[in-house]
Each structure stands twice: as C-alpha cells, then as structure tokens.
Amino acid sequence: MGKIRKVKVKVEDLVLVFGKQKKEALKLLNEGCSKKEILAKTGCTIGINKANFEIFEGEFFVIMGLSGSGKSTLLRCLNRLNEPTSGKVFINGEDITRKNNKDLLEVRRTEMSMVFQKFGLLPHHTVLSNAAFGLELRGEERETRESKAQQALDTVGLNGFEQQLPSQLSGGMQQRVGLARALANDPEVLLMDEAFSALDPLIKTEMQDQLLELQDNLQKTIIFITHDLDEAIKLGDRIAIMRDGVIEQIGTAEDILTNPASDYVKAFVEKVDRKSIISAGSLMFEKPTVVRFKKDGPEGALRKMRSTGIEILPVVDAHETFLGFVHISEVIQSAKRKELTVESIIHTNVPTVSKEVTVEEMLPLISEIRSPIAVVNNDNRLLGIVTQTSLIIEATKYNEEEIIELKEKANK
C-alpha cells in the first residue's frame, strides 16, 4: 500500500473575473455561457474559469500555457495578489480566501514566497541585503536575518558576492538572488512566475538544473509557471496545461503525451521529443506468459509457446524473480534430449530495465538482443516485458537518422 501524500494546496471552483459587472459575469458563467459571450454581454473577461486541483507536499507542480492562458493570473490567486471572484484556496487545510489582510500578510511572510520573472531586486541594496529583505519586513533582527540570508546565498551558489550590487551581477546571478530571498524566508510553498524566461538559454538550463538539485535537498512544494513545454517536462512532477483560463489537463508529462485530454493538448504536445519521456512502464506488456523454473520443463515450456504463439518466453522462479529467456528452437532440442528442466537453455545475459527507463535508453538495446526487454523492480521481480515490436513502433515516430545514431552509440 502506497504512502498517503499530504495535500499542501487545494483549489476549489476558483473563478476570477476582470471588469465592473463581476456578479453578472459570474451568473452567466454558471449558466454555461462562454468566455466570448460573457465579454460581449458584460464587458468582463473571465481570467480563471472554475479551476479545481490539488498539489501535494513536496511536489514540483508546473502550470503552463501560451500567453493569455491565465497561468500567471492563477498563480497570483494562490497568494491573493489577485483577489478571486469566487471559489476557495486552501493552504495546509486553511481557506486563505477568508483571511483578513493581517492574517493574509502573515501567510505570505511565513508559508509562501514568490520569485518573479523580473527578479524584483532593490538596485541600491547589496546582494545580502536583498536576500534578507523579506526577513526585514517580517521584523527579524539584523544579525538573525543576515545569517539566514547568508545561508540562502550559500545554497544558490552566491557565496562571496554578498556585498555586490545587483547591477554588478549577470542576469542568472540576479535571478539566484531572487531565489535566495525566497528561500531565506524558509517558505513551505514556493511560487515561481516564469522565473527563468528572461534568461539566456545556457543560463536558463543552468538555473533549471540548480533548481532541481535544490528541490532534491529541500523538498519544497514548488508551483512553477512557464510557457515552455520542454521546461515544464524537465521540471514538473505534474503539469497543468491551461487555455483561456481553463485547465485543460493535469498529469505527468507521460500522462499528457500518451493520453492527451483534448485536441488542444494533443496539438500542444505533438512536437515534443517523446523518446526521452515515454517509459518502459507505459510500453510494457504486464503479466506475460512465463516459464516457471523447476515447475515447467521443456515440454511444459513448449506447450505454453504453442498455445500462445509466442516463441520467446521469460523464465521466473517461485518468487517471480526474473532468470532470463528461453527460445523455441532450443526448447524443442531440449525436449528431444529428454531434459527435465530448462536450466541449460536459459539466456541469462540479457538486459533488464526499470519501469522508469525511457524509449531513448531502451532503443540501443534492440541491436544487441533477440529477446524482448524484461522490466523488473528493485528485487529483480518481473513486472512485464517490452517487445521489440512495440519498441520499434514507438521508435518509428522519430526520424531514421536518430535511430541509426542510437544504434551506433550502442555498438561502440
């Protein structure tokens, strides 16, 4: 039985309306009118349209969409920088939409921190002072706040830059200061609004890598906004795709790529490099026919092959531990020799993979073996098999040059 995950953030029927006739617009929305119809009748724009989702403690949750999709608007509703028109936002089980300004300020100072796209640094303050700014607003003593700020700067790799001004730093380093300022508050939830979109590609990649490393160590609940699907796939445990204020789909990258919930999502992700995302767990055939070592001899194995029409079968022991594969031609010869077990004909020198291994990682294996690929758990128990046919079908979605290149790498 899996571990029960704690819900950190919960959003229920969240609606945000921009314009003067909010009540009328909300009424029309509840009656089923479209965003376009509501705009025509009231002059109001539906920014967020009945959003519902949960984010778990320690989860890296990415909200993405094109410009105007409502992603940043939604993020700002979570800490009420945008005041929701209706609906609820729960942080640790408490509805922050009901909190007064004083209590809301306390939530922002202690439970949530935000990292903005434009860094938001104070130009005439040092790096250390900028990192400590949130703690200063909280009212902490100078020695305490500077100590915490220094720890945060150390965490993001800015040791030695404490007395520099923001203008003396590169864009990537400025963004690290903004991240350090958020981390210095030791928030439970970190909100990041297109934090890396203003950075050069190389610096952006470095910041993504560093954020993933930080997350491995700190295990914060991170809600990250981006318009870059590759960035969303790289960073997110789960991804929410938005369009016109509506959440079209929420799921892992693999969920979204293999089972898009709408034509919009399908079109949105169709150019993604699937081979680095689709895993053995998605492709594998679960509960395959197996030969049970010691229980099934060559005659028993042959009967199973003939009844299923499968010429290569995995062999497992009494504990479902994977031992290898047997091939029909060798099973027939073993049966003719009147052998009692398949021990002498098991191909044991075959690769095994975990459920998480991707097509990209499995593809080179097809040039090395004639058998399917066994998918096993940490105890080497057989979970399923990926046939060469299914792998090749998946591989044909990529160009021939990529496949040849992968095979050549495997043969070196």
Q: What is the mean pLDDT of the chain?
A: 87
Provide the angle, in degrees to the nearest 10, between the axes of the packed helices 171-184 and 142-155.
130
Average pLDDT over residues 342-352: 93
Which residues have CB under 8 Å from 316's CB, separation 6+? Answer: 290, 291, 292, 293, 322, 323, 381, 382
Provide the angle, in degrees to the nearest 10, between the axes of the packed helices 171-184 and 201-218.
20
Average pLDDT over residues 134-146: 86
CA 195 to chain centroid: 17
* Closest to 11 (Cα-Cα) out of 22, 42, 70: 70
Q: Quick check: helix, strand or coil at residue 185?
A: coil
Q: Are 250 and 238 in contact (CB under 8 A)?
A: yes
Q: What is the pLDDT of residues 20-67, one digit of tens each?
A: 999 999 999 999 898 899 999 999 999 999 999 999 999 999 999 888
* Closest to 342 (Cα-Cα) out of 314, 371, 369: 314
DSSP-assigned states of every residue in 188-219: SEEEEESTTTTS-HHHHHHHHHHHHHHHHHH-
Three-state secondary structure readout of 256-319:
HHHCCCCHHHHHHHCCCCHHHCCEHHHHCEECCCCEECCCCCHHHHHHHHHHHCCCEEEEECCC
Task: Tally helices (H) and strands (E) across the chain.
Answer: 18, 17
CA–CA separation, 115 and 196 (whole Å): 10
Most confident of 10-19, 105-114, 262-271: 10-19
Q: 79 is written with which tokens?
A: 């800490």
* Structural domains of the chain, ranges and CATH numbers in brackets: 280-411 (3.10.580.10)
Average pLDDT over residues 219-225: 92
Query: What confidence category does residue 3 fall into, taking pLDDT thresholds of 50, 70 and 90?
Result: low
Q: pLDDT at position 397, please?
A: 57
* Closest to 132 (Cα-Cα) out of 120, 143, 124, 116: 143
Q: Percent of the chain, pLDDT > 90? A: 47
Give the helix/strand (H/E) hosting 51: strand 45-56
Instruction: Note the maximum CA span of the chain.
Output: 88
* Closest to 68 (Cα-Cα) out of 227, 214, 215: 227
Q: Is the pLDDT of residue 170 over 90?
A: no
Average pLDDT over residues 266-271: 80
CA–CA separation, 341 and 335 (whole Å): 9
Backbone φ and ψ for 321, nearest 5 degrees, come out as -70, 130
Q: What is the pLDDT of residues 301-333, one digit of tens each?
A: 999 999 999 999 999 999 999 999 999 999 999
Q: pLDDT at position 410, please?
A: 45
Q: Is the pLDDT of residue 95 over 90?
A: yes
